[in-house]
Amino acid sequence: MVNQCSLSRPFMHVATDAEGISASSLRSRLENWPAGKPRPKVLYTVPYGCNPTGMTATLERRVEVLKLAREFDFIILEDDPYFYLYYGTAPRVPSYFSLEKELLPETGRVLRFDSFSKVLSAGMRLGFASGPEPILSAIEKFYLPLSSHLLFGPRTSLVYASQTSRLAVLWRQLGETLLL
Ligand SMILES: Cc1ncc(COP(=O)(O)O)c(C=O)c1O
């Protein structure tokens, strides 16, 4: 996460409940934003298994938050290292990144981060970002020279998706065993 001190913008906290970010509370904060004070440009969220509450945002909340992003022109930073660990029996709720493409006529307000640390090996400190091309280019330009990076195409993505689906089954079995 970007060091708060390195940004000149103030941070604000948004209320959440068992269904995710409270869209009504966020709307109210944005609608009543003090005149002359710069509006927030970025919303950071961990939509699956948020630390420390364990909350996973529902589909309805995600849709509401996406609409707010469009209305109030901010970017959603979707930090989602636990997405592939979801092992519930109900279908997995789509990410903000894919929902935006499905629902809205205009895309480009979601920057998504995945991590291999939770699904391949703890502490790998390796992941990937998906999002609007200008932001990805900026990340590449300013961040990647400082770190190692790896590119992969559609075939590797399919292998990854199948590996993570198998892992989710293992997690479910482990959870059921622990609850016995
Ligand atoms: C919400 C969240 N995002 C990102 C990370 C960092 O993942 P990585 O190990 O890939 O740096 C963690 C690590 O636990 C996390 O909990």
Residues 6+ apart with CB under 8 A from 121: none
Do residues 53 and 17 lie in contact, with contact meaning Cβ atoms separated by under 8 Å? Answer: no
Residue 51 Cα to ligand 1 midpoint, Å, equals 10
Average pLDDT over residues 11-29: 95
Residue 33 Cα to ligand 1 midpoint, Å, equals 31
Among 51, 115, 118, 125, name the best residue to mutate to test ligand 1's pocket (greatest count of ligand atoms within 8 A of Cβ).
115
For 63-113, how does the pLDDT look when each residue is reduced to its tens digit (9 = 90+)? Answer: 999 999 999 999 999 999 999 888 888 999 999 999 999 998 888 999 999
Contact 46 CB / ligand 1 (< 6 Å): yes
Contact 131 CB / ligand 1 (< 6 Å): no
Residue 129 Cα to ligand 1 midpoint, Å, equals 13
**Index of the ligand 1 atom closest to the CA of residue 79:** 3
Contact 81 CB / ligand 1 (< 6 Å): yes
Residue 32 Cα to ligand 1 midpoint, Å, equals 33
Q: What percent of the chain has pLDDT over 70?
A: 87
Query: Nearest C-alpha to atom 15 of ligand 1 is from which residue?
Result: 81
State the pLDDT at residue 76. Answer: 98
Label residue 3 by pLDDT band (50, 70, 90). Answer: very low
Give me the long-range contacts of 149-156 (CB less than 8 A, separation at least 24): 150/126
What's the half-sphere exposure (Cβ side, CA atoms, 13 Å) at 131?
Answer: 21
Structure-model confidence comparison of residues 93 and 121, the more confident one = 93
